[in-house]
Amino acid sequence: MGQQTIKMIASNELLAETLRLKNDGYRLVAISCSSKGGMELSYSFDKDYNLITLRFPTDNIEKIESISIIYPFSFLYENEIKELFGVKIKDISIDFNDTLYTIPVKTPFYEQKEEK
């Protein structure tokens, strides 16, 4: 398999790093989020079978910029993360406002209380 690298960045460097990768010719593969043991977002990009992941820790209070100005079709990933985890992403190009999956429970993948 090609190589996989994970790069830790700070949340305000996100737009600068993605613009640099876009000019290099990378394409967006996936945006993932995991919430146990601290919430963190991972943005994965690929070119010629090499995978680069930008990762930064966050919480559901800080507002994060959307990358849909650089990669216009990342709106599906960001709407899903906003609905399931409650991360506040602003300025998405098409914002569904929590009606993508219409689940009756709010943010089911992130528990508000401190339990497993």
Which residues form the interface with another protein (CB under 8 A)? 1-2, 4, 27-30, 32, 34-37, 42, 44, 49, 51, 53, 71-73, 76, 94, 99-103, 108-109, 116
Position 75: which residue type?
F
* Euclidean distance between CA atoms 62 and 88, whole angstroms: 7
Task: Give 12 or 94: the residue with its C-beta nearer to another protein.
Answer: 94
Nearer CB in complex with another protein: 102/112: 102
Looking at the Cβ atoms of 36 and 61, the one nearer to another protein is 36
**Are the C-beta atoms of residues 55 and 42 closer than 8 Å to each other?**
yes
Find the shortest distance in angstroms from Cβ 16 to another protein: 20
Q: Which parts of the chain fold into alpha helices (H)?
A: 14-24, 75-85
Query: Which of residues 15 and 70 has its CB atom nearest to another protein in the complex?
Result: 70
CB of 35 to another protein, least distance (A): 8
**Both tokens assigned to 75:** 């709106």
Distance, in Å, from the CA atom of 32 to the CA atom of 34, rounded to the nearest integer, reads 7
